[in-house]
Chains A and B, each alone.
Chain A
Amino acid sequence: MIAPLHVRDYACAKVRRRLDSYLIGELSVDLSHEILEHLDRCPECGAEAQAREKLRTSFRRVAASTPGPREGFEGEVRALVARTPMRQPLPASLLLAASLIAAAGMTGWLVLSRATAPEASKATVVAVLDASAADLAAFNHKDCARAASWPREAASAEEFTKSVDAPLAAAARAASARLPGYAPVSAHECAHAGETIFHLILRRRGDESRDGLVSVVVTRPHSALAARAKATEVLAASSRLGFSVAGARVRDGRLVLVVASADEKAAIEIGRAVLPAFAAAAAVAVP
């Protein structure tokens, strides 16, 4: 072992701070050259560089000894993937509606809709979410909505919206009011795909199972998740977890997603009911 060394020399201190970056080739040519020169003439730093490289090699050797998968596991996953469809197509009626709406040339903020729905006149374009956003939303639903034990009965309005901004709380109440079969059990902020999101959780009345839970996820304005959801793509995607995800971008670059254990059609219905409230809230909500 090298004896503890109190590096007082400025050049040594500077080199040692950058030594690891130098060793993994992350420094510019000029800086690397500077360090190489120093290592050539400073035995202490040269030894330290060797010791660090040795440690890194040992670390890599330890990591490389990680065993591979058990026999047959790859085959199991291959079989599962072979049975899995790539992506769920949208229902034909929705496609037609989307085309009609798009053909009308309406752009701007987006609300889920169908041509036959009353909202169609107000609505603009059917948005299709980038599938990764949908996948992540489904994950959040699993992690938060399904992992936590939410109340079986609706909470009081004050209780379930006390931890969120007033406009979102108002939107949550308005959205809940538009979903006759469901009661709100929680409205809170949680983390989702590296972003803080507003998470409204509703429970189907009379259904105490986890399948009765529905999530409404609203991102903050100008969220990266929303940016990834391309306006002219996907509207509803069945997730691999057996959830359906429907959603749209609303004003200020917010993304609103509905995640439900129900089928796609039901998710879209729920989305259609709750999105206008959140779109309106997004216009006034505090970031």
Chain B
Amino acid sequence: MGFFAFRPAPSDRVREDFDREAWPHFREIYRAALRLTRRPAEAEDLAQEVFLQAWKSFDRFERGTNCRAWLYRILWNVDHQRMRKKVPLTLGTEGEALLAETLAAEETTPTEIRDEEVAAALEALSEEHRRILLLSDVEEFTYKEIATLLKVPIGTVMSRLSRARSALREKVRGTAAAAAVLGNRPAAQGGNP
């Protein structure tokens, strides 16, 4: 019977391992889920699913490796299935990538920005842009890790991120300019230091 390495019922030890490795990340995974879904009810479903899946496949978690990254991979996969039904994630064309690179070279970023404006700009971003920015800047995954997560080449990650950052800067410029026009605060000073 040695041919099949079936797992015995989980011992207390496995539960202990799971308690130690996975549960400390629960709040963070929930918050990441909330950032992805933006709705607490959906975030709860997602976080619950992540921990159920993680528990069921915990024997495949390589002890000593980054459990948060492993949980996040599960989160991303589960959420990806959910998203596929709602918003098809579009892949940018080469032309768009080139345009984004050009924009990244030409544009400038406002220096006077408020968090509320950044929050508003984020809300106005496309789902694809918002999500890849979250992966890079908030969850702090490297290009390589994002490439693995999205199952795309690193070059694609870089061009998508570049487009997303350009889009964010553009939205922020828009909201900052609007704030100045509406008199919420003094018009930003032009010129460079």
Contacts and interface: CB of A to CB of B under 8 A. Distances in A.
A131 B81 CA distance: 17
Q: Chain B contact residues (Cβ within 8 angstroms of A): what range? A: 35 or more
Contacts of B105: 7, 12-14, 16-17
B158 A77 contact: no
A77 B47 contact: yes
Given A48-B109, A55-B168, A240 B53 contact: yes
A73 B29 CA distance: 13
Given A1-B190, A5-B108, A54-B113, A135 B53 contact: yes
Interface string B104-124: 111111111111001100100
Interface string A199-236: 00000000000000000000000001000000011000
Given A62-B118, A86-B58, A139-B81, A81 B165 contact: no
A132 B14 contact: no
Q: Interface residues of A toward B: which range? A: 35 or more
Contacts of A48: 108-109
Nearest to B18: A81
A263 B57 CA distance: 20
A26 B142 contact: yes
A58 B176 CA distance: 14
Interface in B23-40: 23, 26-27, 30-31, 34-35, 40
Which label, helix, strand, loop or mixed, suits the secondary structure of the A interface?
Answer: helix
Interface of A: 1-7, 12-14, 16-17, 19-21, 24, 26, 43-44, 46-48, 50-52, 54-56, 58-64, 66-70, 73-74, 76-78, 80-82, 84-87, 89-90, 95-96, 98-99, 102-103, 128, 131-132, 135-136, 139-140, 143, 147, 191, 193-194, 224, 232-233, 240
Interface of B: 1, 3-7, 9-10, 14-15, 18, 23, 26-27, 30-31, 34-35, 40, 43-44, 47-49, 51-53, 55-60, 77-78, 80-81, 84-85, 101, 104-115, 118-119, 122, 133-134, 136-138, 142-143, 151, 158, 161-162, 165, 168-169, 172-173, 176-177, 180, 188-193
